[in-house]
Amino acid sequence: MIEASYNFAYLDEQTKRMIRRAILKAIAIPGYQVPFASREMPMPYGWGTGGVQVTASILGPDDTLKVIDQGSDDTTNAISIRKFFAKTAGVATTTSTPAASVIQTRHRIPETTLHEGQVLVYQVPIPEPLRFLEPRETETRRMHALAEYGLMHVKLYEDIAKFGHIATSYAYPVKVAGRYVMDPSPTPKFDNPKMNDCAALQLFGAGREKRIYAIPPYTQVVSLDFEDHPFTRYRQNAPCALCGAEDSYLDEIVTDDRGGRMFVCSDTDYCEGRRAQGHTGTESAPMEAADA
């Protein structure tokens, strides 16, 4: 049920048309940052104003929306955005990855493999991968235009020189379709391989920086590296304490003030799904007790 005073999905139709044009251009040039006239949204910058505008522009009445924040469906940011669209667009919402048609995410890609027809919308704080190496925006645009990406390797070189390995663990630069170098938003580099040849459409919205970029389905996405220091995924060396998963990205949770900690799946939907199938970890309670 849409509240009478809102246009569908909050934004006016002209704005949505403008953003859709930017999205189409972004899809046509994978990895290229398309400027767009980002609007003020009823939430502060840094809370996903870019992602929300992209979601608002692509959402239809039949869509099912899922929102995650660091993999979790039940943190403040995720719940607020989900409620926002339930109120302004009246769309169905879900926490199940396979059931969603649009997934807005802050810094994770769900563990469950995405399928065709789904759209993954990323909230992006800083879209420019070269920002901290070359502060001039005029210069970075020229570097993108001429595909001068030597500087990106300077960052990786510095990592190895300082730490002995590529220590960049999130916002790890990727090359999209063999052309543009792109910042995959601050997702952990564990998620980088999932971007490659992904069946779903991936859209990136940066509200404050006023940029939209995209990875069309089944596009090659390569993480940058050196021949003698290849890209590696990083994962805490433990199974999930609740569902025993060995393949998921883990959050570290401090449990007391004496050094106690446990590792649990960052993707709550994936973890719940596994527990429903009967998988258990070292800390898991029986499902019946949890429901009660």
Partner 1 sequence: MLDRVSVSHDDKVAATDQPLLIADGLSKRYGRIDACRGVSFELYPGEVLAIVGESGSGKSTLLQMLSAQLAPSAGRVSYRMRDGVLRDLAALGEAERRLLLRTDWGFVHQDPAQGLRMAVSAGANVGERLMAIGWNHYGRIRDTASDWLQRVEIDTSRIDDAPRTYSGGMRQRLQIARNLVTGPRLVFMDEPTGGLDVSVQARLLDLVRSLVTELGLAAIVVTHDLAVARLLSHRILVMKSGRVIETGLTDQVLDDPREPYTQLLVSSILPA
Integer Cα distance of 54 and 114 in angstroms: 19
Nearer to partner 1, 212 or 221 (CB): 221
Q: How far is the CB of 149 from partner 1 (least distance, A)?
A: 8
How far, CA to CA in Å, does 200 sit from each of 117, 129, 193, 214?
Answer: 6, 23, 14, 11
Q: Which stretch binds partner 1 (CB under 8 A): 82-90, 147-155, 251-259, 262-270?
A: 147-155
Query: Which residue in the set 20, 39, 179, 229 belongs to the binding site for partner 1 (CB under 8 A)?
Result: 229
Is the distance from CB of 24 to CB of 213 less than 8 angstroms? no
Question: Catalytic residue numbers?
Answer: 31, 240, 243, 265, 271
Query: Which residue in the set 3, 40, 62, 227 belongs to the binding site for partner 1 (CB under 8 A)?
Result: 227
48: nearest Cα among 95, 84, 15: 84
Query: Which residue in the set 2, 86, 151, 222 belongs to the binding site for partner 1 (CB under 8 A)?
Result: 151
Q: How far is the CB of 195 from partner 1 (least distance, A)?
A: 21
Q: Which stretch binds partner 1 (CB under 8 A): 3-11, 17-25, 111-119, 226-234?
A: 226-234
Regarding 150 and contact with partner 1 (CB under 8 A), the answer is yes
Query: Which residue in the set 8, 29, 86, 158 belongs to the binding site for partner 1 (CB under 8 A)?
Result: 158
Nearer to partner 1, 86 or 177 (CB): 177
Sign of torsion over alpha carbons 180, 186, 190, 195: negative
Window 114-133: residues binding partner 1 (CB under 8 A)? 133
Q: How far is the CB of 155 from partner 1 (least distance, A)?
A: 8
Nearer to partner 1, 32 or 122 (CB): 32
Regarding 141 and contact with partner 1 (CB under 8 A), the answer is no
Query: Which residue in the set 1, 4, 40, 162 belongs to the binding site for partner 1 (CB under 8 A)?
Result: 162
Q: What angle do CA 262, 266, 268 make, to 5 degrees?
A: 105
For partner 1 (CB under 8 A), the number of binding residues is 18
Q: Are strands 211-215 and 201-206 parallel, antiparallel or unpaired?
A: antiparallel
Query: Which residue in the set 87, 169, 226, 286 belongs to the binding site for partner 1 (CB under 8 A)?
Result: 226
Query: Which residue in the set 96, 148, 231, 279 belongs to the binding site for partner 1 (CB under 8 A)?
Result: 148
Q: How far is the CB of 177 from partner 1 (least distance, A)?
A: 17
Regarding 228 and contact with partner 1 (CB under 8 A), the answer is yes
Regarding 138 and contact with partner 1 (CB under 8 A), the answer is no
Is the distance from CB of 243 to CB of 281 less than 8 angstroms? yes
Q: Which residues bind partner 1 (CB under 8 A)?
A: 133, 142, 146-148, 150-151, 153-154, 157-158, 160-162, 226-229
